[in-house]
A and B are shown apart, each in its own frame.
Chain A
Amino acid sequence: MEFASFLLKRALWSLLVLFGLSIIIFAIARGIPGDPARISLGPAATPEQVQLLRDRLGLDRPLIEQFGLFVGGLMQGDLGRSLLTERSVTADIRDTFAATFELVLVTITVALVCGAPMGVAAATWRNRWPDHVVQFVSIFSAVTPTFLKALLLQILAGYVLHILPTTGRLPAGMDFSADLTGMLLIDSVLRGRPDVFFEAIRHLLLPVIALSLASMGQIARITRASMIDVAGQDYIEANRAFGVPEHVRVFKYALRPSFVPPLTILGLQFSALIGNAFVVELIFAWPGMAAYGVRAILQKDLNAVMGVVMVSGVFFVIVNLVIDILVGYVDPRVRIRGRR
């Protein structure tokens, strides 16, 4: 019962955040100085063209009505038309989202699966060489711009070693369309195509390394701090005094509470991750939503920009909701105290 009311509260809060997000996006798109239609069309457009676009975007209606239309459209999954592709933004994003989703999902998994053990190792061998290596990696991964990591990986693996592909999701000419989920790893398994699966992994490797390093370092760092903190708690001391063996102490009692801070950090990290996905997709020519978003931003395709920001925001809010629920599951104190 207590867990159910916790879930409900978190879900309602997420809805409120999404509403706030739509207000902010609308304010950015409409509140800016200048005429959005004029901005989209550029200085060369005739007044007639501008007026035509103003009519199409509904810019002459009262602001509150425009906002109503925008939110109404959002509810039905209608994000307007893209000026660039002349298609509906929803369709454009639907076509590109799966590639981004796959990239981000694999990245998070890698960051967690590598980062958490790194943190545990650093805490276990504190101030010895594993600790120093982990600290070094986590600092450098945090301060290196993602685009530099991506470029260096591309030089190293693509031009020097010639072992990994540096662009795209599949080799040119490979005959496979991901028409089930859009995610190559899943679709290739469902369709029974191990060759596609293997190629998809090869293509994922570099972008995932470039994107996951920063989060991995942060997770390792927080896990380490949190393990050390928990290890100093009274109940662990009491365990030691009672002669509970070390592996039971670490794996049964210390590990679970230690994972709460890294999980929480993952939620915040995810914001940077989506942003950096834009850079990584651009560099590795990954045909995802972020690449579409960068193009839309550079071409001032307002509807597409609003759509991409909104979808990124929704994605972020949902991931954080899931993480909050996980944290609430792992740590009962959170359920009672409420939000973190």
Chain B
Amino acid sequence: MAHLSELAAEPQRLSNAYQNWYRFSRNPSAVIGTAIVIICILTAIFAPLITPYPEHVGAVVNFRERHLPPSADYWFGTDNVGRDIFTRVVFGMRISLLLALVVLATAVPVGTVLGLLAGYYGGWVEIVIMRFTDIALAIPGLVMVMAVAAVLSPDLLTSMIAIAALWWTWHARLIYSITRQTRVQDYIEAAETLGASKFHILFREILPNCVSALAVKTSLDAGFVILIGSTLSFLGLGIQPPTPDLGTMVASGAAFLPSYWWESVLPGCAILFVSLGFNLLGDGLRDMFDVEDVR
């Protein structure tokens, strides 16, 4: 990262954004990832407009049309009570993206602020925050999330709380290590000497150095949060029916394997599609920003 910022010194400043865009557009995984993510977000936003049977989202029953294979009328086939699976997958995508959005919107700022504080102040602040982070990271995440979701009653909000409660630790650790490296740089010392406020140093001087790593991590995480959320609901610990959720749909469709394979496999592929998009985007951003240690 250091050599990049040296390269992008003053004379080249104007072309910096263009350079980034050029590198981004030449990176196939970044472009494909962005396309997938945009498709998913748009379908989620405009779900009621693009789905053929929006009324199938709820507890509708249409036994005459149950277990129909994919066709022109029902692109992904129908489920065991005759609802259009494509419609439910699109609405399920909405829930998955909402879950990722809420979890990351909570976990990333919390993790970032704690990481900044621990990295900048050191001493007991560092000991308390980072030791707690280490302990939290030493616990198998999915198992813990399942336990929390089980103890509270299983629904969307519980899944969000349970995942967010663990997720901030990864960001805290990432920001902490960057802050530790940045804190000793000359320009931070210069800002301190000039009497800049702690707030200014933390958020205006140090934080911008974390942005690229943070973008990569957040993009990769969005995919993993969606995977964990769908695993929770697959186990029956997440969103409850009749709300369409991709994991729940796979679980209920699995009862009709292998004859009615589309009922579980196609919603499963939808999860794969979203999480692939965020992963490719994250990989592309990592190549573009040249940050290595983010997973």
**A21 to B166, alpha carbons, bound, how many Å?**
13
Number of interface residues of B (CB under 8 A): 47
Q: What is the bound-complex CA distance between A154 and B255, given in angstroms?
A: 12
Q: What interface size band does chain A fall in?
A: 35 or more
In angstroms, how far is the closest chain B Cβ from the Cβ of A297?
4
Which A residues are in CB contact (< 8 Å) with B142?
271-272, 274-276, 278
Nearest A-chain residue to B235, judged by Cβ: A294
Contact of A274 among B132, B140, B230 (CB under 8 A): B140
B250 in contact with A316 (CB, 8 Å) = no
A275-B272 in contact (CB<8A) = no
Partner of B279, one of A33, A143, A278: A143
Classify the interface of chain B: helix, strand, loop or mixed. Answer: helix
Q: Does chain A have a CB within 8 A of B82?
A: no
Residues of A within 8 A of B292 (CB): 225
Q: Return the chain A residue nearest B149 by Cβ.
A: A297
Which B residues from 225 to 274 make CB contacts under 8 A with A? 227, 230-231, 234-237, 247, 250-251, 254, 257-258, 261, 264-265, 268-269, 271-272
Q: Do A151 and B254 touch (CB < 8 A)?
A: yes
Q: Does B139 contact A (CB under 8 A)?
A: yes
**B152 contacts chain A at the CB level, 8 A cutoff:** yes
Instruction: Kindly list chain B residues whose C-beta atoms are within 8 Å of the C-beta of A144.
Output: 272, 275
B148 cross-chain contacts in A, Cβ below 8 A: 28
B151 touches A29 (CB 8 A): yes
Q: Smallest CB–CB gap between B260 and chain A, Å? A: 11
Q: B231 touching A309 by the CB < 8 A rule?
A: no
- Chain A residues with CB under 8 Å of B139's CB are 21, 24, 271, 313, 316
Q: Which of A44-52, A64-72, A82-90, A298-306 contacts B (4 or more CB under 8 A)?
A: A298-306
Q: State whether B234 touches A278 (Cβ < 8 A).
A: no
In the complex, B143 has a CB within 8 A of chain A:
yes
Contact B141 A147 (CB under 8 A): no
- B residues with a Cβ closer than 8 A to A are 132, 134-136, 138-152, 223, 227, 230-231, 234-237, 247, 250-251, 254, 257-258, 261, 264-265, 268-269, 271-272, 275-276, 279-280, 283, 292, 295
